[in-house]
Every structure is written in C-alpha cells, then in structure tokens.
Amino acid sequence: MKAYFVETDDDGTGEIVWCDDIDQHADRAEWYSTRRAPEFDQYCEQGWVPAEAWIKWGGWLSCPECGQHVTPELWNYDEDEPIDPVYINSSAFCSLSCYELTQSKAQATRKRRAELLDQFNSLGLPATAFIGRHFYATEANRIDFTFEGGKGYWNAAQPNEVLIAPIYLDAWEKAKTAINPTAKLLRIER
C-alpha cells in the first residue's frame, strides 16, 4: 500500500490515506487534491501517522487541550523562545502543561467512571453496565447498559429510574422482575 496526502478542502487541511491505486479510491470525488507521500508508507500497518512525523513533514495538529496549532515553528511570543511540543501517538500537545492538564482530566474521568459503575452495580439491576470510549461532561452521570433482550441507560442524578426504549420494555420487565422488582421505570425513550 502507498501513502497519499489527501486535501479535503482548499485550505490545505487533509489526511494520509493508504491504498494501492488512489484513482480508484471510493472517496476520490470528495477530495480537493492528492499527492504521493512515500515517507508515510511505513505507517500503513498501524493505520496512523505519529504526530512528530506529521509535524516534521510540515503538517499541523491542534493541541487536544487548548486547540493551539502545533506546527514546526511553534513559538512562545511572551518568552521569545520556541515551544517544545509533547507528542503522544497521533496527538501533539503544544506544551507539557497542556499534556499534564489532559492527563489530570483523564485521571478524574477514570475515577468518576469507577464511582458510577460501583453505584450502578449496587442497584442489583439485571444488566451489564458499560461506558463508551467517550465520556462527555454532559453525560458525566450516565451509564449505558445491556440486559437480556435489550439495552437502556441509567443516570446517577435519578438513581431510581432507568430509560428503556419501547421496543425493549417486555424484555426489561422480564429481566428486572427476576432480579430486582423494585427498579422503577419512570421514563420511556421515544
């Protein structure tokens, strides 16, 4: 497979795509332009380009914490010195402080997830809890769960209720009656 830089707009933003024949690629019509990028052929197996290689190539990335563009010319104008970015896999943080702040938030999120799972599991519901990969602040109290024959979600802000889609109501009634008949269903997803 060969690597190609694909511009998705005329502003120079784009991505690396690996394929045998770029002219036969399914998304070809949506691209503004393409050019061969053989320096990225080596990353085909892993499916992503390390941030440091991307930046050194001349690309840029947004810092996941503050949004600042991380480029080869990253400069601290207040201190009049270059900034040393922190590269983690395909992410580039503009500074060590942004990286550490992101790590601190991630640690707090992991702790909150563990607390929610403990709280959910203590209810004795006939369900298996899961929290998706993304854990947004707007859903910081939500746990999605599955049960035999369906799925739903629970919110720690209303710990005595679960939300089940109408299609799963019969399966939920059967499952909850067998395990915890006191679990209340106060809302139905529409």
Distance, CA of 109 to CA of 155 (rounded, Å):
16
153 and 179 fall within a common domain: yes
Residue 183 within a domain: yes
pLDDT of residue 36: 94
Share of the chain above pLDDT 90, in %: 32
Domain termination site, one of 35, 66, 94: 94
116 and 83 fall within a common domain: no
44 and 63 fall within a common domain: no
Is there a contact between 37 and 15 (Cβ–Cβ < 8 Å)? no
182 and 139 fall within a common domain: yes
pLDDT of residue 98: 94
For the chain, the domain total comes to 3
41 and 58 fall within a common domain: no
Is there a contact between 68 and 36 (Cβ–Cβ < 8 Å)? no
Q: pLDDT tens-digit profile of 64-116?
A: 999 988 988 888 777 788 888 999 999 999 999 999 999 999 888 888 878 88
Residue 100 within a domain: no
| DSSP 8-state symbol, 126 | S
137, pLDDT greater than 70? no
189, pLDDT greater than 60? no
How far CA 85 is from CA of 27, 60, 63, 146, 159, in Å, comes to 33, 12, 9, 41, 43
113 and 176 fall within a common domain: yes
133, pLDDT greater than 70? no
Distance, CA of 109 to CA of 132 (rounded, Å):
12
Domain termination site, one of 94, 122, 156: 94
113 and 181 fall within a common domain: yes
Residue 99 within a domain: no
Residue 148 within a domain: yes
Residue 102 within a domain: no
Residue 178 within a domain: yes
Q: Which spans in the chain are helix H? A: 51-57, 96-121, 169-179
112 and 181 fall within a common domain: yes
Domain termination site, one of 11, 29, 48: 48
Q: pLDDT tens-digit profile of 153-168?
A: 888 787 777 788 889 8
Q: Which residues contact 50 (CB under 8 A, 6 or more apart)?
A: 43, 87, 89, 90
Segments forming the whole domain that contains residue 14: 1-48
